[in-house]
Chains A and B, each alone.
Chain A
Amino acid sequence: MKEVKLFLGPQHPGMHGNYSAHMYVEGDIINKSYALPGMLHRGFEKLMERRHWMGNLALIPRICVIEPDPNEMVYAMSIEKLAAIEVPERAHWIRMIILELARLAANLMSIGGIGAPVGLYTSVYWGVADRDLILDIFEKITGARVYHMYIVPGGVRKDLPEGIEEEILDLLDYIEGRLPEFYDLVMRSPIFQTRTRDNILLPEEVVWELGVTGIGMRSAVNREYDIRKVKPYARYDQVEFSLPYGPYSDAFTRVDFKYIEMAQSISIIRQSIEKMPKDGPVRAKIATGSALRWQVPPGMVYSCVESARGEYGYLVVSDGGEMPYRIAVRGSSYPQGLMGVEKYLPGHRIDDASLWMDTMGVCAPEIDR
């Protein structure tokens, strides 16, 4: 059969954001494929060197659109390590609530999004509508729907509004009630099962070869490899949760794990609200004088958190000046988005390419930066 060139994306409903893969296909089997990133490249790492340490707070959430809060968290963590700032106890718990709500929102979006490549559009409507309720909570806490700029070096920007705990608990009850319905709608659907079961396998060697983290890794290597467990930050060592892991990673398992992780996020938020100190400071004083012209002590540090897609890290270098000297971003979907498309997709069918993008959680803006 004749080999044909195919451009999948950037303007394609099955593609996740402004991202592209170039392929040679024979029939509908992919022979060779190459990722073409860079459509969302804004030069973040350069821009961050040109802003003050505090001015960067407005810039960093924009690196990943779907789940902006891990950015703020790693940035704050790095600065706290460099400047040896002690974060108040209550702030740690508030950060955890925010991070888990963000993870819940990202997972809902991704479970909704899985509908598009398999042709099951109801889940898109359900997932996005439920995610909007979480955004409402964010709006009440931080004042913004998408980019919150809430986690700042030294704690969080301001205290939680009164009575928000009850609202969060109500919302969690609602989402927990919805999860079985989602499960019936998506996972038990024959269309979905045919498309994903025993399809797009991710063997363990490929995980280590590419450096894949997150759900993809946990479902393949049969270990509970999660930054929250291996290297706890905030107060994740004081809550009880267990993450799903397994030895056999097909598309179905990876989506299945997202449901279990959502239930775990709900449990973590409930425990945090219960264990959180009821009052106290939420932000440590970081500097004398103007915080805008604050100077961070020189040094180099790497800090990472677990986002919904894997290890998310910043390498922060300070030379003691008012601006960062260098910040390098490790987007968590960098390996599966670039290497994965090139090394792994050949041999699969064209329509499975977008399933790979979705189940592995390829997020274009954090790859391009």
Chain B
Amino acid sequence: MTTNAKDVRKTWEKIADYFRAHSIWMKWYCTGCGAIEMPPTMTSRFDMERLGMGPMATPRQADVLLITGYLSAKTLRRVIYSYEQMQDPKYVVGFGSCTLNGGIYFDSYATMTRLDHYLPVDLYIAGCMPRPEAIMNSFDTLIKMIEKGEAKGWKHYQENHEWYRRNQLHSLKEVYVKDEFHE
């Protein structure tokens, strides 16, 4: 593995990553049907909090954005809106086959087929839908990735913002949700 000067972490970044890895706030946004496996993961049976993760209601205080399942164009607008409100460093986990390649909705006119075209994804969980064990395993992996400084999707988003924005505009026409009532 070649190391660029850019990739070398400073000591304070290493320490910061260590602390980030062990206090993760997951944003509470059920974008699709995979959200039904989140309550068992969060509550007493699988208990996500023993890993040092907890749910958070507002995007401004959250670290991880979980995309739980398929994303329709209407949701994608709101997801991008929420993602850009989150503060750096932030991580995206794609959840289920629908975020990977469209899954069972590959030919649907309303859902998008690959998530990493629009948002920088750090980790994918395969399956429809992933079991709570798979989710716990992925959280474990995510924590290790953050600790090693490998989860750098947010930097990628900053550096290639134009590419992402072009893709978003191609699929959605308008990215931001207008402050207009649906009366």
Direct touch of chains A and B (CB < 8 A)? yes
- Whether a CB of chain B sits under 8 angstroms from the CB of A235 is no
B-side interface size class: 35 or more
- Whether a CB of chain B sits under 8 angstroms from the CB of A164 is no
- Whether a CB of chain B sits under 8 angstroms from the CB of A40 is yes
Min CB–CB distance A252 → chain B (angstroms): 24
Answer whether A65 and B36 are a contact pair too, CB < 8 Å, given A39-B75, A43-B108, A46-B108: yes
Q: When the two chains form the complex, which single residue of B108, B110, B131, B182 contacts A34, counting CB atoms closer than 8 Å? A: B182
Chain B residues, Cβ within 8 Å of A40 = 32-33, 72, 75
- Whether a CB of chain B sits under 8 angstroms from the CB of A229 is no
Chain A residues, Cβ within 8 Å of B39 = 109, 112, 124, 128
Q: Tell me the B57-88 residues at the A interface (CB within 8 Å).
A: 57, 59, 70, 72, 74-75, 78, 82
Q: Which residue of A lies closest to B56 (CB)?
A: A13
Instruction: Tell whether, in the assembled complex, residue B110 and residue A43 are in contact, meaning their CB atoms are under 8 Å apart.
Output: yes
Chain B residues, Cβ within 8 Å of A38 = 72, 74
- Whether a CB of chain A sits under 8 angstroms from the CB of B105 is yes
Q: When each residue 8-46 of chain B gets 1 if its CB lies under 8 Å from chain A and 0 otherwise, what string results?
A: 000000000000000000011111110111011001110
Instruction: Tell whether, in the assembled complex, residue A22 and residue B182 are in contact, meaning their CB atoms are under 8 Å apart.
Output: yes
Alpha-carbon distance A249/B113, docked complex (angstroms): 44
Instruction: Tell whether, in the assembled complex, residue A11 and residue B70 are in contact, meaning their CB atoms are under 8 Å apart.
Output: no
Alpha-carbon distance A59/B70, docked complex (angstroms): 13
- Grouping DSSP codes into helix (H, G, I), strand (E, B) and loop, the B interface class, with mixed when no group exceeds half, is loop
Alpha-carbon distance A365/B59, docked complex (angstroms): 23
Min CB–CB distance B123 → chain A (angstroms): 21
Alpha-carbon distance A42/B181, docked complex (angstroms): 23
Alpha-carbon distance A104/B75, docked complex (angstroms): 30
Instruction: Tell whether, in the assembled complex, residue A132 and residue B104 are in contact, meaning their CB atoms are under 8 Å apart.
Output: no
- Whether a CB of chain A sits under 8 angstroms from the CB of B129 is yes
Q: When the two chains form the complex, which single residue of A12, A47, A58 contacts B57, counting CB atoms closer than 8 Å? A: A12
Instruction: Tell whether, in the assembled complex, residue A146 and residue B129 are in contact, meaning their CB atoms are under 8 Å apart.
Output: yes
Instruction: Tell whether, in the assembled complex, residue A10 and residue B78 are in contact, meaning their CB atoms are under 8 Å apart.
Output: yes
Alpha-carbon distance A146/B78, docked complex (angstroms): 27
- Whether a CB of chain B sits under 8 angstroms from the CB of A129 is yes
Min CB–CB distance A307 → chain B (angstroms): 15
Instruction: Tell whether, in the assembled complex, residue A34 and residue B35 are in contact, meaning their CB atoms are under 8 Å apart.
Output: no
Chain B residues, Cβ within 8 Å of A187 = none
- Whether a CB of chain A sits under 8 angstroms from the CB of B183 is yes
Q: Which residue of A lies closest to B128 (CB)?
A: A147
Alpha-carbon distance A106/B88, docked complex (angstroms): 38
Answer whether A50 and B43 are a contact pair too, CB < 8 Å, given A36-B182, A39-B74, A65-B33: no
Instruction: Tell whether, in the assembled complex, residue A125 and residue B44 are in contact, meaning their CB atoms are under 8 Å apart.
Output: yes
- Whether a CB of chain B sits under 8 angstroms from the CB of A178 is no
- Whether a CB of chain A sits under 8 angstroms from the CB of B111 is yes
Q: Tell me the B86-127 residues at the A interface (CB within 8 Å).
A: 104-105, 107-111
Chain A residues, Cβ within 8 Å of B75 = 10, 18, 39-40
Instruction: Tell whether, in the assembled complex, residue B82 and residue A22 are in contact, meaning their CB atoms are under 8 Å apart.
Output: no
Chain A residues, Cβ within 8 Å of B43 = 124-125, 128-129
Instruction: Tell whether, in the assembled complex, residue B45 and residue A129 are in contact, meaning their CB atoms are under 8 Å apart.
Output: yes
- Whether a CB of chain B sits under 8 angstroms from the CB of A148 is no
Min CB–CB distance A200 → chain B (angstroms): 23
Q: Which residue of A lies closest to B81 (CB)?
A: A11
Q: Which residue of A lies closest to B41 (CB)?
A: A128
Min CB–CB distance B178 → chain A (angstroms): 12
Chain A residues, Cβ within 8 Å of B36 = 65-66, 146
Min CB–CB distance B96 → chain A (angstroms): 11
Given A22-B181, A34-B181, A65-B33, 8 new contacts (CB under 8 A):
A11-B59, A17-B30, A18-B75, A40-B32, A42-B72, A42-B110, A129-B45, A147-B129
User: Residues of B with Cβ closer than 8 Å to A?
Assistant: 27-33, 35-37, 39-40, 43-45, 57, 59, 70, 72, 74-75, 78, 82, 104-105, 107-111, 128-129, 131, 179, 181-183
The 7 closest A-B pairs by CB, nearest first: A65-B33, A128-B39, A128-B43, A11-B29, A39-B75, A36-B182, A43-B108
